[in-house]
Amino acid sequence: MKLALTLGDPAGIGPELALQVLARPLPGTTPILVGSAALLQRVAAATGLPCEAPVLSKEDFLTRCPGHPAILDLPLPGLDQLAPGAPTALSGQAAYHWLTEAIDLTQAGKFDAIVTCPLSKEALHLGGHFYDGHTEILVERSGTTRHAMMLSAPEVTATLVTTHIAVSEIAPRLTLERICEVTRLTAAALPLWKDRDRPPRLAILGLNPHAGENGLFGDEEARLIQPAMDLLRAEGLDLVGPLSADTAFIPAIRKDIDGYIAMYHDQGLIPLKTLAFDEAVNITLGLPFIRTSVDHGTAYNLAWQKKAQVTSLYAACEAAQRLARN
């Protein structure tokens, strides 16, 4: 299985994580690192990691399409002067360029899946690419209309109705249609991801404290979330909720739940990362190809020091492999 492994922000920990996967690929996978070969050599020199793989230009790659690990060299001017440890316009431009090349090549059938190392939203904006993260670039570039961001670990899986927006924007962005869309995508994806002898059971979280407590603390549960659940149950989905988010993740509830539908970013990801940081995988639902990612950010403070854990990147490669098999 051929994986497009993008380096993410070159000033962060992505390149050194990718080098570790290049040196010891997951069995059954062929990682092709999408980025700058010269930058990878600099990171290898700084960390002591090996960087021993054929380097291919884009033209060589399209002609040869190797069946072994390799580096797809997509250089950018100025990368030889790039320093680790902080977001810059150049690091944002590089991350964007490598990702969009990987998307285009995957849609052309050159890769079986994309696995991404972390990028910086700030660096993207500094570089003139005004996206909120990987997901928005993937969605726009692929022409996808229905999509969702799901993070999964052995202990818990959560899909987000809203993602990288200010807290003040969450309630205005919630719609019945979006709640239904995210829940349907999750229900369709989980059987490909988790082995169960029954349809997935999803817990729908309320937006407000105590899930609104019958309208005392907000009306989103009665006005949006419960009607969405009624529609989805009529379609045959197994749902519980709306649940109060402060107790929804306790073991007694979690043991019977295959996935959570969270109304906003921190509602779903604080419990997930508390339980399983460095073990979870980010999966973009709804794309016409498989895309997985790590569950963490660029960790600029650790960049190019061989201190970052590679666990989540291996989990992302394994997830891509499993999804491709199913």
Cα 206 to Cα 46: distance, rounded to the nearest angstrom: 47
Residue whose C-alpha is closest to residue 104's, from 131, 72, 77, 128 = 72
Cα 274 to Cα 292: distance, rounded to the nearest angstrom: 20
Q: What is the average pLDDT value for the chain, to the nearest integer? A: 94
User: Which element (helix H / strand E) includes 65?
Assistant: none
Q: Indicate the CATH number of 146-286 among 3.40.50.720, 3.40.640.10, 3.40.718.10, 3.20.20.70.
A: 3.40.718.10
Q: What per-residue confidence (pLDDT) applies to 251?
A: 95
Backbone angles phi, psi at 106, to 5 degrees: -65, -45
Domain at 1-144+287-326, CATH class: alpha beta
Using 50, 70 and 90 to split pLDDT, how confident is the model at 216?
confident
Distances (CA, A) of 82 to 34, 56, 86, 315: 17, 22, 10, 29
Q: What per-residue confidence (pLDDT) applies to 213?
A: 80
Query: Which residue type sits at 80?
Result: D
Backbone angles phi, psi at 316, to 5 degrees: -65, -40
Cα 109 to Cα 113: distance, rounded to the nearest angstrom: 10
**If you average pLDDT over residues 176-196, what whole number do you get?**
91
pLDDT digits (tens, 9 = 90+) for 240-255: 999 999 999 999 999 9
Q: What are the start and end residues of each CATH 3.40.718.10 domain in the chain?
A: 1-144+287-326, 146-286
pLDDT digits (tens, 9 = 90+) for 124-133: 999 999 998 8
Q: What are the tokens at 188?
A: 């369709």
13-27, 63-77, 292-306: segment of lowest average pLDDT:
63-77
Cα Rg of the chain (Å, integer): 20
